[in-house]
């Protein structure tokens, strides 16, 4: 790993953390609003609850995740391959392109000209710079894929008979999957939203736009999740003092994600008219199928952690769990993230079940779900990764491990309160994306739960401030040298057991494309050939 590459990772991670900071600030405001205290009118920049909510979703779910991943995953991949990125110039060009895109999108976003939520469904119409900026960010992610692919090919030329190291393989799958999946969003942006926001076409088509959006919008959640899985599979077992239970099983799980992540976006559109119910059923079954690689992950990662805990003297069927090295904040963050993700996964299955979805769709339940998944499995894991990555990049030891431990437990506790309350409110019918404090239809049985939303959000806010404080102090005050970065875990059943077919690309990518064509082809063809493009844009804020 060269110095320039470390700086590149540092640049991406720095942008990610700044975005997260903005995201948690606005998150606090929304949580307090639900708790009965609306501070939005007193803030300098934020014009409304909905402005705040859009900033929150875009900064956390789109910017923080994407920039962190583009810094972290190439870092891991190059380390695993033992070679630098094929093109440092391309890598830096990618960073600057993404930063320009981000700034372009941020101007209307912060200026309240793009208050369209992180899903930007038309006919809500944002300023064109918002769409163009986000598109540049997506193009940047494709260039990361390109650089990773070139790097792997160079490695392959020198190592024709070896299995791709697991961490590199997983990194490549993550970006290959995302590159296929993001084509829906690219089409929505280039063909629909950008010309429409520029006034080149008069109308739009909300349904077609939603189909294209969720083509990408579901797999984007695995684009966020898989880098966390990379850490759970390839680093966490060793951080726990153990070994990865099975390397071939880990590869199988990722290949299943490559094949199954995309052809199932209709599970976000069960209530949309204009999509045949038969296709919704196909997407429902494929959603149950993509549950499976996460179950493989559950099994494999728990067995790996167990090997670590037993090596440290752990005994019993469950009691070994206490013997994990809980004093390591990086590992503690990840294990706590896994625990809450189990409930997020169960909730996901409920969402995916057509008839149950009708109960929870567009309610606060979904907000509870997404805070367990992207808001904990991913975010808390990335915080755990930051606890070794940021000290490494700064060359200084983490300022306070105790504070970091307090931080991760606060996130865990705060999220239990916050997410559980939102799930319950959702079951009582409370809508999501609503300024609940101003709603005239608030039900009596919701009211006792509102303070818990505010309390949960406040705990999460304190936790995130401790996180940032610790990193800033590491930068400014820490003098001790950074410890070694965690090394990759060895596997109990190693790469030499992995059949060669698990190290191939063409069959799996072909299968992925075929499934997408089947699951989306007929509906997309019909909608694209019959759309009148006649819905005018709206600015409701
Ligand atoms: Fe989801 C809506 C279904 C996973 C994020 N999801 C959302 C939205 C977001 C989101 C942001 O079918 C809202 C979008 C919007 O704004 O409208 N989701 C699923 C399913 C899964 C799932 C089936 N979601 C995720 C992940 C996300 C995420 C991951 C982000 C990172 N979701 C849905 C559906 C909707 C939806 C519908 C639409 C709802 C609607 O009506 O709008 C699955 O992939 C989940 C699989 C997970 C598991 C858990 C495995 C556990 C592991 C940890 C094990 C280790 C442990 C260690 C426990 C099967 C790997 C402990 C040790 C011991 C000893 C036990
Ligand atoms: Cu989904």
Residues 6 or more apart whose CB falls under 8 angstroms from that of 146 comprise 90
What is the rounded distance in angstroms from the CA atom of residue 349 to the CA atom of residue 347? 5
Does the pTM exceed 0.75? yes
Q: What angle do CA 499, 310, 245 make, to 5 degrees?
A: 10
Q: Which pLDDT does position 246 carry in this prediction?
A: 96
Residue 370: nearest ligand to its CA? Answer: 1
Q: Which pLDDT does position 361 carry in this prediction?
A: 98
Q: Of 174, 373, 375, which is best to mutate to test ligand 1, by the most ligand atoms within 8 angstroms of its C-beta?
A: 373
Q: Of 54, 348, 365, 412, which is best to mutate to test ligand 1, by the most ligand atoms within 8 angstroms of its C-beta?
A: 348
291 within ligand 1 shell (Cβ under 6 A): yes
Secondary structure of 394-460 in HEC code, one letter for each residue: HCECCCCHHHHHHHHHHHHHHHHHHHHHHHHHHHCCCECCCCHHHCCCCCCCCHHHHHHHHHHHHHH
* CA dihedral sign, ordered 229, 233, 239, 242: positive
Q: Which pLDDT does position 497 carry in this prediction?
A: 78
Contact 284, 353 (CB under 8 A): yes
User: Ligand 2 is a single-atom ion; what residues have CB below 5 A from it?
Assistant: 218
d(CA 369, ligand 1 centre) in Å? 7
Q: Which pLDDT does position 142 carry in this prediction?
A: 98
d(CA 372, ligand 1 centre) in Å? 8
d(CA 272, ligand 1 centre) in Å? 21
Q: Which pLDDT does position 1 carry in this prediction?
A: 61
Nearest CA owner, ligand 1 atom 38: 268
Coil, strand or helix at 114 = coil
d(CA 7, ligand 1 centre) in Å? 33
d(CA 103, ligand 1 centre) in Å? 30
225 within ligand 1 shell (Cβ under 6 A): yes
Phi, psi dihedral angles at 443 (to 5 degrees): -90, 150
Distance of CA 187 to the CA centre of its chain: 21
Q: What is the DSSP letter of 46?
A: -
Contact 201, 195 (CB under 8 A): yes
Contact 509, 254 (CB under 8 A): no
Q: Of 68, 315, 345, 355, which is best to mutate to test ligand 1, by the most ligand atoms within 8 angstroms of its C-beta?
A: 345
Chunked into runs of 10 residues, the chain (541 residues) has average pLDDT values of: 86 98 97 94 94 98 98 98 96 98 98 98 98 98 98 96 95 98 98 97 96 98 98 98 96 98 98 97 98 98 98 96 98 98 98 97 98 98 98 97 98 98 98 94 96 97 98 96 95 83 94 98 97 94 92
Q: Which pLDDT does position 213 carry in this prediction?
A: 98
Q: Of 369, 381, 412, 422, which is best to mutate to test ligand 1, by the most ligand atoms within 8 angstroms of its C-beta?
A: 369
299 within ligand 1 shell (Cβ under 6 A): no
268 within ligand 1 shell (Cβ under 6 A): yes
Nearest CA owner, ligand 1 atom 7: 370
Give the total residue count for the chain.
Answer: 541
């Amino acid at each position: 790993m060269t110095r320039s590459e470390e700086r590149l990772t540092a640049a991406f991670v720095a942008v990610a953390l700044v975005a997260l900071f903005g995201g948690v600030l606005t998150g606090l405001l929304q949580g307090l609003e639900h708790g009965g205290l609306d501070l939005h009118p007193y803030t300098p920049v934020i014009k409304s609850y909905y402005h705040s909510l859009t900033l929150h979703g875009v900064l956390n779910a789109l910017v923080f995740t994407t920039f962190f991943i583009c810094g972290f995953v190439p870092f891991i991949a190059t380390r695993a391959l033992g070679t630098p990125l094929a093109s440092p110039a391309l890598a830096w060009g990618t960073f600057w392109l993404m930063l320009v895109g981000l700034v372009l999108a941020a101007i209307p976003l912060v200026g309240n000209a793009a208050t369209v939520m992180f899903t930007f469904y038309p006919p809500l119409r944002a300023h064109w710079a918002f769409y163009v900026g986000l598109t540049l960010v997506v193009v940047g992610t494709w260039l990361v894929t390109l650089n990773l692919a070139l790097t792997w090919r160079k490695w392959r030329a020198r190592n024709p008979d070896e299995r791709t190291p697991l961490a590199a393989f997983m990194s490549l799958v993550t970006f290959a999957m995302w590159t296929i999946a993001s084509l829906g969003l690219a089409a929505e942006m280039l063909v629909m939203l950008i010309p429409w926001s520029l006034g080149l076409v008069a109308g739009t088509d909300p349904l077609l736009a939603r189909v294209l959006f969720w083509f990408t919008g579901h797999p984007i959640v695995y684009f966020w999740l898989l880098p966390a899985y990379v850490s759970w599979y390839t680093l966490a077992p060793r951080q726990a003092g153990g070994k990865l239970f099975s390397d071939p099983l880990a590869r199988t799980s990722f290949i299943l994600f490559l094949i199954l992540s995309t052809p199932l976006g209709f599970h976000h559109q069960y209530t949309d008219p204009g999509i045949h119910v038969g296709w919704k059923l196909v997407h429902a079954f494929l959603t149950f199928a993509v549950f499976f690689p996460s179950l493989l992950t559950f099994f494999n990662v728990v067995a790996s952690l167990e090997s670590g805990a037993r090596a440290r003297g752990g005994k019993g069927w469950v009691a070994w769990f206490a013997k994990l090295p809980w004093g390591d904040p990086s590992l503690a963050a990840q294990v706590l993230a896994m625990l809450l993700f189990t409930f997020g996964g169960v909730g996901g299955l409920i969402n995916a079940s057509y008839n149950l979805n009708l109960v929870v769709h567009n309610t606060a339940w979904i907000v509870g779900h997404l805070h367990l998944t992207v808001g904990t499995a991913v975010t808390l894991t990335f915080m755990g990764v930051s606890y070794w990555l940021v000290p490494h990049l700064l060359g200084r030891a983490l300022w306070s491990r105790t504070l970091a431990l307090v931080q991760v437990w606060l996130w865990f506790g705060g999220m239990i309160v916050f997410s559980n309350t939102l799930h319950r409110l959702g079951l009582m019918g409370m809508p999501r994306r609503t300024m609940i404090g101003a709603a005239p239809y608030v039900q009596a049985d919701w009211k006792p739960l509102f303070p818990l939303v505010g309390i949960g959000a406040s705990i999460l806010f304190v936790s995130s401030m401790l996180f940032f404080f610790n990193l800033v102090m590491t930068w400014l005050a820490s003098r001790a040298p950074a410890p070694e970065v965690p090394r990759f875990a060895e596997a109990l059943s190693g790469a030499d057991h992995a059949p060669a077919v698990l190290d191939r690309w063409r069959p799996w990518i072909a299968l992925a494309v075929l499934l997408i064509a089947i699951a989306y082809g007929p509906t997309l063809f019909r909608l694209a050939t019959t759309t009148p493009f006649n819905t005018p844009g709206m600015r409701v804020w």
